[in-house]
Amino acid sequence: MSRSPAGRQPADFAMALQPAVARDQIVDEVFARDVIAGLTARPKRLPPKYFYDETGSRLFEEITRTPEYYPTRTELGILQTRASEIARLFPPGAALIEFGSGSSRKVRLLLDAGRVCAYVPVDISAQGPKQEAARLKRDYPRLAVFPVVADFTHSFRLPRPLARLPRAGVIPGTTIGNFEPAQAIAFLRHAARMLGSASVFVVGVDLVKDAAVLNAAYNDAAGITAKFNLNLLYRINRELGADFDPASFSHQAFFDPERSRVEMHLVSRVRQRVNVCGRVIEFRAAETIHTENSYKYTVESFAALARNAGFEPIETWTDPAGYFAVQALRSG
Ligand code: TRP
């Protein structure tokens, strides 16, 4: 591990000082450290942000097209009918900051409303936003696009030219639900600071619903969700030289109504040992690695959470079945 003199600087800071090769090495070291920390914890876990390498991002796009995975198409439907109403809440000439952009399908609907003059997609994956930015520049010639590669749960620096523009934020999809509720509050507070006072933040919120619908959404019949979850093990093998046998793990996802969340796990089918970065990790038969939670809220429970973070809910849009909500919040 390369350490700064103070020994406690975050990796982002060290990275800014390094040439590209050393930078890749730091990224790998951080990945290795996170993986070892997760696999030596009890119960075992892995950070979900590592799902999204190139294969993982492609598989997630495929999940969004399965018949069972309703969140993406439901939210798109809401945005298609309500985009101009939502965009009217943005100050004219605003910079729109998107936390965790993937494909720009959703945000394009907001950009089409024509209020925004700059767009800042913030994403942890390096390829996504840069390629998408080129396409956006072609399709929206008057829009300034400033992609930022960063872990948006930490502070990141906004591109200089934005300093004087009014700001608005958007976090579509299930992203807010992937935080623990306490972390979601911390994230909203941090977003409020980045957006400035009295700004509008548009948040996608997946709603509590029938357990059968939720369980199906995370266990599609074609098995794409299973592939997506298991890709994490392939990635660890590929990038960190581990020797996971992914065929001896299976995907598990279920809704826990008490905690109001879908839990995703990788279950070891057998008792086994795996070598990861010079460590031997032991698995009992049926032991799981917890890979992600997806919290489901009601409109009211999410409004309460937002108030806790200093936001005031100003408007909510849902689909007729009440599967998904888009909530507009204003920061204090
Ligand atoms: N953010 C997505 C969600 O919570 C991620 C996701 C969908 C996911 N299906 C998954 C994560 C299966 C792990 C396993 O809906």
The amino acid occupying position 124 is I
Residue-level pLDDT at 6: 37
From ligand 1's centre to the CA of 65, what distance in Å? Answer: 13
Residue whose CB lies within 8 A of the most ligand 1 atoms, among 69, 224, 264, for a mutation test: 264
From ligand 1's centre to the CA of 218, what distance in Å? Answer: 7
Atom from ligand 1 closest to the CA of residue 293: 4
Write the DSSP string, 253-285: EEEETTTTEEEEEEEESS-EEEEETTEEEEE-T
Residue with tokens 């509590």, as numbered in its chain:
208
Cβ atoms 261, 296 nearer than 8 A: yes
The verdict on the CB of residue 70 being under 6 Å from ligand 1 is no
The verdict on the CB of residue 125 being under 6 Å from ligand 1 is no
Atom from ligand 1 closest to the CA of residue 175: 1
CA–CA separation, 188 vs 48, rounded Å?
19
The verdict on the CB of residue 252 being under 6 Å from ligand 1 is no
Residue with tokens 């502070």, as numbered in its chain:
155
Helix (H) or strand (E) holding 299: helix 299-308
Q: What are the pLDDT digits (tens) for 246-284? A: 999 999 999 999 999 999 999 999 999 999 999 999 999
The verdict on the CB of residue 74 being under 6 Å from ligand 1 is no
Closest residue by CA, ligand 1 atom 2: 174
Determine the length of the chain: 332
Residue-level pLDDT at 5: 37
Sorted by sequence, the CB contacts under 8 Å of residue 319 that are 6+ apart come out as 74, 77, 78
Selection from 89, 153, 150 nearest residue 115 by Cα: 89
Judged against a pLDDT cut of 90, whether residue 187 lies above it is answered with yes
CA–CA separation, 63 vs 57, rounded Å?
10
The verdict on the CB of residue 327 being under 6 Å from ligand 1 is no
From ligand 1's centre to the CA of 204, what distance in Å? Answer: 14
The verdict on the CB of residue 292 being under 6 Å from ligand 1 is yes
Pairing of strands 94-99, 116-123: parallel
Task: Report the alpha-carbon angle 120-57-25, nearest 5.
Answer: 80
Task: Report the alpha-carbon angle 39-45-49, nearest 5.
Answer: 110
Pairing of strands 279-283, 324-331: unpaired
Domains of the chain with CATH codes: 1-244+297-332 (3.40.50.150)
Closest residue by CA, ligand 1 atom 7: 218
Write the DSSP symbol of residue 270: S
Write the DSSP string, 77-116: HHHHHHHHHHHTTSPTTEEEEEET--SSHHHHHHHTTS-E
29/131: higher pLDDT: 29
Selection from 203, 202, 205 nearest residue 90 by Cα: 202
Cβ atoms 73, 202 nearer than 8 A: no
Extract the tokens encoding 324.
Answer: 């998904």
Q: Which of 20-34, 106-120, 185-199, 237-251 has the lowest mean pLDDT?
A: 20-34
From ligand 1's centre to the CA of 294, what distance in Å? Answer: 7
Closest residue by CA, ligand 1 atom 1: 174
Helix (H, G, I), strand (E, B) or coil at 222: coil
Q: What is the mean pLDDT of the chain?
A: 91
The verdict on the CB of residue 63 being under 6 Å from ligand 1 is yes
Atom from ligand 1 closest to the CA of residue 262: 4
Q: What are the pLDDT digits (tens) for 124-164? A: 776 666 778 889 999 999 999 998 888 888 888 888 888 88
Write the DSSP symbol of residue 66: S
Helix (H, G, I), strand (E, B) or coil at 208: coil
Count of C-beta atoms within a 10 Å radius of residue 307: 15
From ligand 1's centre to the CA of 3, what distance in Å? Answer: 34
CA–CA separation, 24 vs 259, rounded Å?
38
Q: What are the pLDDT digits (tens) for 53-88? A: 999 999 999 999 999 999 999 999 999 999 999 999
From ligand 1's centre to the CA of 60, what distance in Å? Answer: 8
The verdict on the CB of residue 229 being under 6 Å from ligand 1 is yes
